[in-house]
């Protein structure tokens, strides 16, 4: 079995700061990590490999330093890592990204046929959840988003049964392999890499593909050119001009503070009080 | 499967990186192990980089290293509660390339240095802690890490694991570090727009200022404060001997001390509006010459803070770390080329080399400094106040003649320390720095 | 916004930002109406309100898109849609459209777009909407902007200016699709206000079907297991929410949150660290990776106010923050702030609310 997992290197958004004056992102010093959601996809792929044997290839489109993220995936047990990197990809939105990744997966498939493609649910920087569906459509694969569990995989019959998170419940779906799965978070726990795998990961050559290696057929469809969306403005959230009304607390006056708050609250929002009263009447 | 390398380097700070870089450049197989998420992740501070030590390994480092500003001005301040007396040295000579000192942000710098180490061919592994050294009799033969199948072997292990090296202690290479030999420093990075920094510190683009401070800010303890200008942030911090914090009558915490320092009327306007980006506390070995332990043995060497190589007087650490790391690596390379076994007798060449370098010469020069300052807190309390009072007296124009003022100043000094005390202090100071 | 800011990326990328002639025919604002087991997802009506405003600016019509199986009450839904502002509804019925599946819905919606050519299409950023929007946009080769928080029409280009948070909410960006049609966007539930319903409004229904046999569809829906818990937890649509953060210190202390919530008939919310520590269910997480909420009252206890949490709750009418740290960022956007220990403030507040409500409703009865 051959599984491709798409991973993205993202800035650790927990550590991102916005320049208070210019309102630009201060990337300087912000560490780059593997998109946390993608690790659930990777782990699920590795579990399938443990059960069925085969190979896991990790694929990433990004700048040269994204190699670190791929190495990390290798340390967990991925067999092969490909970094698709080319200036021509710069400025890609989700449509252009999915085109590039789909081309690369097709190319990977020429070396060894691909049975499953995994992506994360979404990224923490782009945060769109659009790239997975985009790849599936371009490759003509069945799309399974928000998958919480793989119930059954029959590689002989080429059938897979999964559970998928839907609004208000879980859908149980059966489809044909190959297909594309976007994995839901917190569905599995990532393994801990052993020392030999760490050493192997530090050593392994990461394959770098430019746009030709990745089999891009139409360069009009990648990078900024292939991106229908145009970012026209980036700005910081408008700070609220009105500051919070502060109520001071010393232990003794807790009751007064509470009463004070309730009074101010209900004076400003009489409807709220009304609603509460109606509810307690009912 | 038993992995064996020529050398294992523990730690990816300046010392470890220098060692791994030098070894890998010599074509040896090197495994470097760092417990942080990435090199520098545990080192969020801004700091001063001294070019020389790095230049010896990477002559063209200026091309791509993340440098903040080159330092063109050094200010030494002696503070009282509400004032300071200072000496500033600024020179245009510092404004000619190649620059001698830079401010850097360690997290970025360490990451960069590590990328050079990898390019040189070393294997770098992060998020992995070395728990033990593996011994074969008296000989260190490898390390044991906190991962499954965590044993790895090497001809030599270089410990560059920073201050308070747990490994060296576990292995019995040196004892528990003494509170009197280590300073606890706290630092903050305050974000500030580039133009504001340049205006406030009277500097141009890429130019930087360093302010070193002693006096009231340390609340009677032995220590110093500092303020550096980065590209678009300031590094501000204060450090005091750990033993002083422990016995401080006011139970001052390092953090409270830094907060108080930030409110000092001479400092507050410089940092006003700065938004705190990062905060960290870290130990600095300041025992100096006398606290340097045995740094080489059978199959092992110690470099950087782990060996106590810090010149506290001049706040030099990373350069000593890089130099000791490099020299340790060179010692191994030479011994190996000569076909010698990695015994203590062979590796003793490492401390010998250090003795002849600026590292041990400088530490030797200030060997008495720690003790003297320790037992003479007047250098951090009485004198700063006296000097500031004197300056205020002399500079206040109020109809009193200058002669009378001079007398008053002298008498205040005498009253505070007594003549013999003052002579004694002067002598101690001279002895410490001569 | 001026032309220059719009054009700048064009200079860099050398791409064409002019709308080609054949795409200028695309007219109207569409809302994909999501429904499941007899109910329309409220986000669709929220979108209808936004669509109405966009269409009025453009001088265009609003259309609802309803797709479903033969037995589903799509006409009833259409009538509701008219009440919320739709001028017409496209109703597509086919056996393969009973229960959501990506393939038939993507086919159906794509065909509809190609036939009737809308200028703008909006979908809810739900598990269904995101699944479908991504597939349809790729098939149509057009731009899709996810999780928008604001939708406007750019006066110069007449394009949809869709604003969304990036980098975990620390920044906002406005995104436009200039040279492609339709312009697509998803919006999370509760981000847009619910429009007023006008039951007297009516509209046209355009019926259609999908020529796709079950045998052609690869993916089969074997079962649907409704959630027991999420039927009960309706955080997104709660009017009052009492939320706790890491500052509650211990799972036991969370009981104080529950107590206040009971007195107010409120839902309980939480920050991510609290959910990760397992103190409450994941469905209770408010924020960027949790739910967006828009209650009338949001009480936050022991919550620092990190941006990822803030983006999920700042739409609340009234925010009360209890935090022991006077510099906590939450006080920058709360309406009322109490600096104090949540462990003592919460019980006092609970008691005060209880007493106040009891007194008032007693008074109310006397007055009546
Ligand atoms: C507040 C402060 C200000 C300073 N200012 C300056 C200055 O301006 N200029 C200057 O030159 N010096 C300065 N110094 C000193 C300087 O930072 C140090 O001397 C220097 O960092 C020492 O380098 P090192 O490589 O020995 O140790 P470190 O930089 O501490 O690196 C040790 C590394 O080893 C890793 N490690 C530790 N244990 C293990 C283990 N068991 N397994 C794996 N990895 C491990 C750690 O994670 C760490 O990354 C300052 C120090 C402080 C605290
Ligand atoms: C990609 C990404 C997505 C995220 N998504 C979300 C999300 O959807 N939702 C979310 O909530 N977070 C999210 N986060 C996490 C977010 O960044 C913050 O870490 C989190 O919101 C902080 O939660 P907290 O306020 O509970 O904890 P803390 O930040 O630890 O704050 C605790 C607060 O309690 C106060 N406190 C302590 N003791 C007391 C006391 N006795 N009485 C009163 N106050 C006290 C403290 O002053 C402090 O302000 C996300 C992070 C990332 C990186
Ligand atoms: N540049 C990229 N390289 C590899 N995979 C990506 C890339 N961008 C997105 N993905 C995958 O697509 C998923 C959804 O991303 P997004 O649409 O950006 O939220 C991610 O979790 C990744 O698995």
Domain assignment present for residue A42? The answer is yes
In a domain, C30, yes or no: yes
Q: Residues lining ligand 1, judged by CB closer than 6 Å? A: B 10-16, 33-36, 42-43, 45, 47-48, 129-130, 160-162, 167, 185, 187, 237, 239, 282, 284, 304-306, 310, 315-319, 321
Task: Looking at the structure, tell me whether residues C189 and C113 fall in a common domain.
Answer: yes
**Structural domains counted in chain C:** 2
Domain co-membership, A145 together with A266: no
- Spell A128-153 as b/e; 16+ CB within 10 A means b: bbbbbbbbbbbbebbbbbbbbbbeeb
Residues C180 and C268 reside in one and the same domain: no
pLDDT digits (tens, 9 = 90+) for C187-225: 999 999 999 999 999 999 999 999 999 999 999 999 999
Residue B206: per-residue pLDDT: 93
Structure tokens at B83: 């004032």
**Helix then strand then coil, % of chain A, to nearest 5:** 35, 30, 35
Does residue C142 have a pLDDT over 50?
A: yes
Average pLDDT over residues B231-260: 85
CATH number at residue A149: 3.40.50.620
Distance (Å) from the alpha carbon of A116 to chain C's nearest alpha carbon: 15
How is C201-243 classified by DSSP, letter by letter? ---EEEEEE----GGG---EEEEEEE-SHHHH---TT-SEEEE
- Cα separation, B42 vs A45, in Å, equals 32
Which residues touch B74 (CB under 8 Å, ≥6 apart)?
B88, B89, B90, B209, B210, B212
Residue A133 sits in the same domain as residue A260? no
C210 shares a domain with C311: no
Query: Regarding predicted confidence, which is higher, A18 or B59?
Result: B59
In tens, the pLDDT along A121-156 reads 999 888 899 999 999 999 999 999 999 999 999 999
A205 lies within 8 A of chain B by CB: no
Contacting residues of A for C180, CB less than 8 Å apart: 228
Residue A199 forms contact with B (CB below 8 Å):
yes
CATH number assigned to the domain comprising residue C264 = 3.40.50.1220
* Residue A216 within any structural domain of the chain: yes
Residues C344 and C296 in one domain: yes
Q: Is residue A91 part of a domain?
A: yes
- Three-state secondary structure string covering chain B: CCCEEEEEEECCCHHHHHHHHHHHHCCCCEEEECCCCCCCCCCCCEEEEEHHHHHCCCCCHHHCCCEEEEEEEEEEEEECCCCEEEEEEECHHHHCCCCCEEEEEHHHHHHHHHHHHHHCCCEEECCCCEEEEEEECCEEEEEEECCCCCEEEEEEEEECCCCCCHHHHHCCCCCCCCHHHEEEEEEEEEECCHHHHHHHHCCCCCEEEEEEEEEHHHCCCCEEEEEEECCCEEEEEEEEEHHHHHHCCCCCCHHHHHHHHHHCCCCHHHHCCCEEEEEEEEEEECCHHHHCCCCEECCEEECHHHHCCCECCCCECHHHHHHHHHHHHHHHHHHHHCCCCCCHHHHCHHHHHHHCCHHHHHHHHCCCHHHHHHHCHHHCCHHHHHHHHHHHHHHCCCCCCHHHHHHHHHHHHHHHHCHHHHHHHHHHHHHHHC
C224 in any annotated domain: no
For residues A215, A219, A224, A226, the Cα torsion angle rounded to the nearest 10 degrees is -90
User: A64 with A106, same domain?
Assistant: yes
Residue C17, domain member (yes or no): yes
| SS3 state at C94 | coil
Residues having CB within 6 Å of any atom of ligand 2: A 13-14, 124; C 168, 245-247, 271-274, 285-290, 302-304, 306, 308-309, 312, 322-325, 328, 341-343
Q: Where are the domains of chain B?
A: 3-68+101-176+290-365, 180-285, 370-433
Does residue A232 lie in a domain region?
A: no
CATH of the domain at C177: 3.40.50.620
Tokens 């065909």 label which residue?
Answer: C111
- Look at B45-59, B114-128, B364-378 and tell me which has the smallest mean pLDDT: B364-378
Mean pLDDT of B141-146: 96
Ligand 3 centroid – CA A236 distance (Å):
25
List, in sequence order, every residue forming a beta bridge with B239; answer none if it has no partner.
Answer: B185, B224
Instruction: Judge if C187 and C245 occupy the same domain.
Output: no
State the average pLDDT for chain A. Answer: 91
Tell me the C-alpha distance between B46 and B70, whole Å: 13
On average, the pLDDT of chain C sits at 91
Average pLDDT over residues C236-245: 95
For residue C6, give the DSSP letter: H
User: With a CB-CB cutoff of 8 Å, which residues 18-37 of chain A face chain C?
Assistant: 18, 23, 25
Looking at the fold, whether A159 and A264 belong to one and the same domain comes out as no
Ligand 3 atom closest to Cα of residue A122 = 19
The answer to whether C220 contacts A173, with C-beta atoms less than 8 Å apart, is yes
- Specify if A235 maps to a domain: no
A249–C34 CB contact, under 8 Å = no
% of chain B residues with pLDDT over 70? 97
Last residue of a domain, one of C216, C247, C273: C216
Number of A–C residue contacts, CB under 8 Å: 299
Architecture per CATH, domain B180-285, reads as: 2-Layer Sandwich (3.30)
pLDDT of residue B165: 82
A96 and A152 co-located in one domain: yes
Q: How confident is the model at residue C5 (pLDDT cuts 50, 70, 90)?
A: very low
- Check: CB of residue A36 under 8 Å from CB of residue A185: yes
Distance B228 CA to ligand 1 centre (A): 18
How many domains is chain A built from?
A: 2
Residue A18's nearest CA partner among C163, B232, B197 is: B232
Tell me, yes or no, whether C212 and C242 share the same domain: no
Is A245 found in the same domain as A217? no
Ligand 3 centre to CA of A231 (Å) is: 19
- CB atoms near residue A10 (< 10 Å): 23
Identify which of B70, B129, B241, B284 to mutate to test ligand 1's pocket (most ligand atoms within 8 A of the CB).
Answer: B284
C296 to A269: CB separation less than 8 angstroms, yes or no: yes
Model confidence band, residue B429 (pLDDT cutoffs 50, 70, 90): low
> C207 and C257, same structural domain?
no
- C203 with C317, same domain: the answer is no
With a cut of 80, say whether residue C47 has pLDDT above it.
Answer: yes
Question: What residue has token string 């003793």?
Answer: B348
Torsion angle defined by CA atoms of residues B125, B131, B136 and B140, in that order, rounded to the nearest 10 degrees = 60
Residue ID of nearest Cα to ligand 2 atom 11: C271
Per residue in B27-60, pLDDT (tens digit) is 999 999 999 988 888 765 668 999 999 999 999 9
**Do residues C181 and C255 both lie within one domain?**
no
On whether both A151 and A261 belong to a single domain, the answer is: no
Q: Are C113 and C210 in the same domain?
A: yes
Q: What is the pLDDT of residue B53?
A: 93
Domain with A257, as residue range(s), is 240-282
Helix (H) or strand (E) holding A213: none
C177 and C296 in a common domain: no
- Residue A233 in any domain: the answer is no
Confidence grade of residue A29 (pLDDT, cut at 50, 70, 90): low
Instruction: Inform me whether the pLDDT recorded for A238 exceeds 80.
Output: no
Measured between its terminal Cα atoms, the distance across chain A in Å is: 61
Selected residues 93-112 of chain B with any CB under 8 Å from a CB in chain A = 105, 107-108
User: Is C334 within the bounds of a domain?
Assistant: yes
Which residue in the block uniquely carries the two structure tokens 């005498």?
Answer: B414
Say if residue A169 is in the same domain as residue A30.
yes
Instruction: Give the least confident one: A260-274, B279-293, C22-36.
Output: B279-293
The reply to whether A195 and A81 lie within a common domain is yes
Phi-psi domain of B188 (left: phi exceeds 0; alpha: psi -120 through 50; beta: other): beta
Query: Are B110 and B39 spatial neighbours (Cβ–Cβ below 8 Å)?
Result: yes
**Least trusted range by pLDDT, from A20-34, B52-66, B242-256, C302-316:** A20-34
Containing structural domain, residue C126: 2-216
A63, A106: one domain: yes
* Same domain (yes/no): A16, A155: yes
Whether C10 has a pLDDT exceeding 60, the answer reads no
Task: Tell me whether residue A151 is in a domain.
Answer: yes
Q: How much is the pLDDT for A188?
A: 94
Closest by CA position to C51, among listed C33, C25, C30:
C30
Q: What is the pTM of this model?
A: 0.86
SS3 C362: helix
H/E segment holding residue C349: helix C342-367
What residue owns the CA closest to ligand 2's atom 39?
C247
C334 alpha carbon – ligand 2 mean position (Å): 15
- Predicted local distance difference test score (pLDDT) of residue B254: 84
Cα-based torsion angle of the residue sequence A273, A274, A276, A281 in order, rounded to the nearest 10 degrees: 140
Under CATH, which architecture does the B3-68+101-176+290-365 domain have? Answer: 3-Layer(bba) Sandwich (3.50)
* Residues A85, B116: Cα–Cα separation, whole Å: 21
Residues C188 and C288 in one domain: no
Say if the Cβ atoms of C14 and A225 lie within 8 Å.
Answer: yes
A230 part of a folded domain: no
In this structure, of B175-184, C4-13, C263-272, the range with the lowest mean pLDDT score is C4-13
3-state SS assignment for residue C315: coil
- Nearest-Cα residue of chain B relative to residue A71: B125
**Confidence tier at A282 by pLDDT (50, 70, 90):** very low
H helices within A77-120, ranges in order?
A: 94-111
Which of these, C122, C195, C118, lies nearest to C162 by C-alpha position? C122
């Amino acid at each position: 079995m051959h599984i491709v997992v798409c991973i993205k290197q993202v800035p650790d958004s927990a550590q991102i700061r916005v320049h208070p004056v210019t309102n630009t992102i201060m990337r300087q010093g912000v560490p780059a990590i593997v998109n946390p959601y993608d690790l659930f996809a990777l782990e699920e792929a590795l579990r399938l490999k443990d059960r069925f044997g085969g190979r896991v290839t990790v694929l990433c489109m990004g700048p040269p330093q994204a190699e670190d993220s791929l190495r990390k995936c290798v340390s967990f047990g991925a067999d092969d890592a490909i970094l698709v990197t080319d200036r021509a990809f710069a400025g890609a939105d989700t449509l252009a990204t999915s085109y590039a990744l789909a081309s690369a997966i097709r190319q990977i498939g020429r070396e060894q046929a691909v049975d499953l493609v995994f992506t994360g649910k979404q990224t923490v920087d782009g945060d769109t959840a659009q790239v997975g569906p985009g790849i599936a459509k371009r490759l003509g694969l069945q799309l399974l988003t928000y998958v919480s569990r793989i119930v059954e995989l029959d590689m002989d019959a080429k059938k897979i049964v999964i559970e998928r998170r839907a609004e208000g419940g879980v859908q149980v779906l059966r489809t044909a392999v190959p297909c594309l799965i976007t994995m839901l978070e917190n569905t599995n726990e990532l393994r801990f890499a052993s020392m030999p795998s760490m050493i192997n990961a530090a050593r392994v050559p990461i394959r770098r593909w430019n746009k030709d290696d990745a089999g891009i057929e139409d360069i009009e469809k990648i990078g900024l050119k292939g991106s229908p969306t145009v970012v026209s403005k980036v700005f910081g959230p408008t700070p609220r001009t009105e500051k919070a009304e502060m109520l001071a607390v010393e232990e003794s006056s807790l009751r007064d503070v509470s009463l004070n708050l309730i009074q101010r609250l209900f004076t400003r929002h009489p409807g709220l009080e009304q609603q509460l009263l109606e509810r307690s009447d009912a | 499967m038993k992995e064996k390398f020529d050398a294992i380097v523990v730690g990816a700070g300046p010392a470890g990186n220098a060692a791994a870089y030098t070894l890998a450049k010599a074509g040896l197989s090197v495994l470097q192990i760092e417990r942080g998420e990435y090199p520098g992740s545990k080192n969020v501070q801004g700091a001063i980089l001294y070019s020389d030590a790095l230049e010896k390994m990477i002559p063209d480092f200026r091309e791509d290293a993340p440098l903040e500003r080159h330092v063109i001005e050094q200010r030494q301040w002696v503070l009282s509660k509400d004032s300071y007396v200072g000496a500033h040295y600024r020179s245009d000579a510092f404004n000619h390339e190649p620059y001698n000192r830079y401010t850097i942000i360690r997290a970025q710098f360490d990451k960069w240095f590590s990328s050079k180490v990898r390019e040189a061919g070393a294997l770098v592994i992060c998020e992995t802690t070395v728990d033990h050294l593996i011994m074969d009799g008296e000989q260190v033969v490898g390390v044991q890490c906190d991962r499954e199948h965590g044993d790895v072997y090497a001809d030599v292990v270089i410990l560059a694991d920073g201050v308070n090296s747990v490994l060296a202690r576990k292995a019995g290479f040196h004892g528990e570090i003494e509170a009197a030999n280590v300073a606890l420093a706290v630092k903050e990075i305050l974000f500030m727009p580039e133009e504001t920094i340049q205006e406030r510190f009277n500097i141009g683009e890429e130019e930087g200022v360093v302010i070193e401070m002693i006096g009231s800010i340390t609340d009677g303890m032995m220590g110093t404060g500092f303020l550096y200008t980065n590209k678009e942030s300031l590094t501000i911090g204060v450090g005091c001997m750990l033993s002083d914090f422990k016995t401080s009558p006011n139970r001052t915490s390092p953090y409270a001390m830094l907060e108080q320092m930030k409110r000092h009327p001479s400092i507050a306007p410089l940092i006003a509006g700065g938004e705190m980006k990062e905060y960290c506390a870290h130990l600095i070995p300041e025992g100096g010459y006398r606290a340097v332990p045995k740094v080489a043995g059978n199959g092992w060497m110690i470099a950087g803070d782990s060996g106590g190589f810090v010149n506290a007087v001049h706040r030099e650490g990373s350069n000593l770390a890089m130099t000791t790391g490099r020299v340790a690596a060179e010692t191994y390379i030479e011994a190996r080329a000569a076909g010698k076994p990695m015994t203590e007798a062979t590796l003793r060449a490492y401390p010998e080399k250090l003795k002849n370098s600026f590292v041990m010469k400088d530490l030797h020069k200030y060997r008495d400094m720690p003790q003297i300052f320790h037992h003479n807190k007047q250098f951090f309390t009485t004198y700063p106040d006296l000097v500031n009072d004197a300056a205020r007296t002399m500079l206040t124009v109020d109809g009193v003649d200058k002669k009378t003022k001079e007398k008053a100043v002298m008498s205040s000094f005498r009253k505070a320390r007594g003549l013999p005390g003052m002579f004694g202090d002067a002598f101690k100071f001279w002895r410490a720095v001569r | 916004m001026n032309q220059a800011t719009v054009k700048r990326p064009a200079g860099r990328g050398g791409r064409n930002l002019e709308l080609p002639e054949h795409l200028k025919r695309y007219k109207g604002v569409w809302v994909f109406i999501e429904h499941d087991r007899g109910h329309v997802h409220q986000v669709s009506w929220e979108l209808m309100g936004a669509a109405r405003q966009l269409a009025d600016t453009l001088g265009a019509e609003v259309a609802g898109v309803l797709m479903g199986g033969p037995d589903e009450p799509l006409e009833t839904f259409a009538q509701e849609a008219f009440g919320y502002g739709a001028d017409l509804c496209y109703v597509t019925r086919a056996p393969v459209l009973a229960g959501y599946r990506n393939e038939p819905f993507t086919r159906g919606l794509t065909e509809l777009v190609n036939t009737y050519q809308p200028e703008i299409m909006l979908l809810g950023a739900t598990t269904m909407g995101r699944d479908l929007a991504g597939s349809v946009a790729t098939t149509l080769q057009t731009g899709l902007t996810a999780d928008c928080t604001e939708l406007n029409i750019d006066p110069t280009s007449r394009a949809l200016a869709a604003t969304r948070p990036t980098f975990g909410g620390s920044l906002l960006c406005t995104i436009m699709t200039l040279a492609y049609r339709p312009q697509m966007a998803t919006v999370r539930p509760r981000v847009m206000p619910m429009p007023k319903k006008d039951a007297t409004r009516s509209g046209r229904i355009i019926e259609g079907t999908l020529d796709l046999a079950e045998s052609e569809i690869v993916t089969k829906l074997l079962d649907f297991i409704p959630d027991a818990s999420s039927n009960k937890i309706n955080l997104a649509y709660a009017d009052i929410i009492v939320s706790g953060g890491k500052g509650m210190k211990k799972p036991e202390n969370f009981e104080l949150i529950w107590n206040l919530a009971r007195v107010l008939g409120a839902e309980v919310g939480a920050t991510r660290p609290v959910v990760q520590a397992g103190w409450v269910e994941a469905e209770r997480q408010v924020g960027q990776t949790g739910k967006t909420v828009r209650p009338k009252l949001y009480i936050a206890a022991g919550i620092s106010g990190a941006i990822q949490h803030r983006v999920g709750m700042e739409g609340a009418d009234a925010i009360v923050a209890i935090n022991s740290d006077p510099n906590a960022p939450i006080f920058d956007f709360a309406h009322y702030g109490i600096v104090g220990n949540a462990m003592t403030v919460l019980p006092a507040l609970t008691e005060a609310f209880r007493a106040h409500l009891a007194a008032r409703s007693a008074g109310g009865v006397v007055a009546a």
